[in-house]
Structure 1
Amino acid sequence: MRIVINYTIKPVSVSAASALAANFLLLLFEIARSTTQNNMHWTVYILRCADGSLYTGITTDLTRRIKAHDAGKGARYTQGRGPFQLVHQEFYENRAEATKRELSIKSLSRSQKLELISAYSAS
């Protein structure tokens, strides 16, 4: 992504120039932060562990997160339970929505989770 900002600098005192530069940097940081947050998508995922158990989590980078689980650096629950199979994923625009969905999935019984997985894999 490329952001172009046209900004004209007029002659000012040194202290005014410092304040102007500081405000300009704050503006750039705010643009970068809001752009990053607005383009971030969250994934709610379910992994089937080698022992047959199911793990539910959220991330903004599913590939990186699964690699972390595989390396034993993911959630404490998944340590020593690999290899993993990705069996379900859903996408959300923000962390709040993803967290709510993660918690709702975690509150399901195992049989309800398996129904969810099979319903999505059938469609």
Structure 2
Amino acid sequence: MKGFMYILKCSDDTYYCSRTIDLKRRIKQHEVGEGANHTKNRLPVKLIYYEIHPHIALAFSREKQVQRWRREKKEALIKGEQHLLPKLAIAYWAL
């Protein structure tokens, strides 16, 4: 069963990253406050990025990976600036 990894932008300018098997339904749930606590307290939310994976387990793994990223790296992914991702993977204290 395919899965989606997605990123929402919340009204307080934070990002929320998760995964689902039905993206349209899940976004509608977030929009009416039936989603995660993070989003229901920060409405409205806007879908700003998603990836399609051949299996939900892969979407889950990708979600966990992206959740650990700093904001700057998430923004490079969202903007399609994949060439910046390796540089942004360097720990801030190593610079």
Q: Could you say whether these structures have the same fold, taking a TM-score greater than 0.5 normalized by the shorter chain as the test?
A: yes
C-alpha RMSD of matched pairs (Å): 1.1
| Structure 1 residue 102 displacement after superposition | 0.3
The residue correspondences of 1:1-123 to structure 2 (distance < 5 A) are: 40-119=1-80
Q: Which has the larger radius of gyration?
A: 1
The separation in 2 between residues aligned to 1:119 and 1:85, in whole angstroms, is 17
| Structure 1 residue 80 displacement after superposition | 2.1
> Which structure has more RCO (C-alpha within 8 Å, separation ≥ 6)?
2
Amino acid at match of 1:87: I
Bigger helix share: 1
The separation in 2 between residues aligned to 1:66 and 1:105, in whole angstroms, is 19
State the TM-score, normalized to the length of structure 2. Answer: 0.80
Amino acid at match of 2:16: Y
- SS of equivalent to 2:44: coil
Corresponding residue for residue 88 of structure 2: none
Using the aligned pairs only, state the percent identity: 38
Structure 1 residue runs of 4 or more that deviate by more than 6 Å after TM superposition: none
| Structure 1 residue 76 displacement after superposition | 1.3
The separation in 2 between residues aligned to 1:43 and 1:99, in whole angstroms, is 8
